Structure 1
């Protein structure tokens, strides 16, 4: 993927994530004057929103890191082994920091 396309895609992703994070950080639902069932449902919704916020924030960090690698001229290079990240992987995940092999190793360690 060329640098201009990568920058555009990453910038679009960042804008979308910022919007999503803004929505997820909205005011929590008040549980006052609600039935116990409604209050429990609201807490479950809050937990789900919190989990989605964590994922979006983690994704945002990955996009910012990819933009930084782009500026430094290291975009498309695996941060672990320094080999090229396959073009298809960057098309699917423009924020990818690792080649498939190194990403697999990282996930198995978790």
Structure 2
């Protein structure tokens, strides 16, 4: 994927993530109309929203890092080993920072 296409896709992703993050950070008092019997459901919804917010914030960070790699001329190169990230991987995940092998190693270390 060329840098212009990657930048366009990443900027679109960033815009969508910013919108989602804004919604997820919405006013928690939106749940105030529920009865005490629904308190558990409110907690569950709040936990789910917090988890989705965490994922969105991490993905936003990855998108910003990918945009920086484009600016630095390093987009499409694995941040760990320096080899090219496969085109198909970048098509599926334009924010991908690692080749498949390095990403697998990183995930195994967790």
Flag whether TM exceeds 0.5 (same fold).
Answer: yes
| Length-normalised TM-score, structure 2 | 0.95
**Any conservation in 2 of the 1:79–1:97 contact (CA below 8 Å)?**
yes
* TM superposition shift of 1:41: 0.6
Aligned to 1:108: 108
2:25 is aligned to 25
2:100 is aligned with 1:93: no
Q: CA deviation at 1:39?
A: 1.2
TM-score by length of 1: 0.95
Q: Which residue of 2 aligns with 1:63?
A: 63
Q: Does 1:3 align with 2:3?
A: yes
Instruction: Give the number of equivalent residue pairs.
Output: 110
* 1:65-89 deviations in Å (ceiling 9; x for gaps): 0000000000000000000000000
**Counterpart-to-counterpart distance in 1, 2:12 and 2:33:** 41
- Cα gap change, 1:32 to 1:6, in 2 (>3 Å): closer
| Runs of at least 5 residues in structure 2 that lack an aligned partner in the other structure | none
Instruction: Find the counterpart in structure 2 of residue 40 from structure 1.
Output: 40
* Structure 1 stretch displaced more, 23-32 or 57-66: 23-32
Q: Which runs of 4+ in 1 moved over 4 A?
A: 30-34
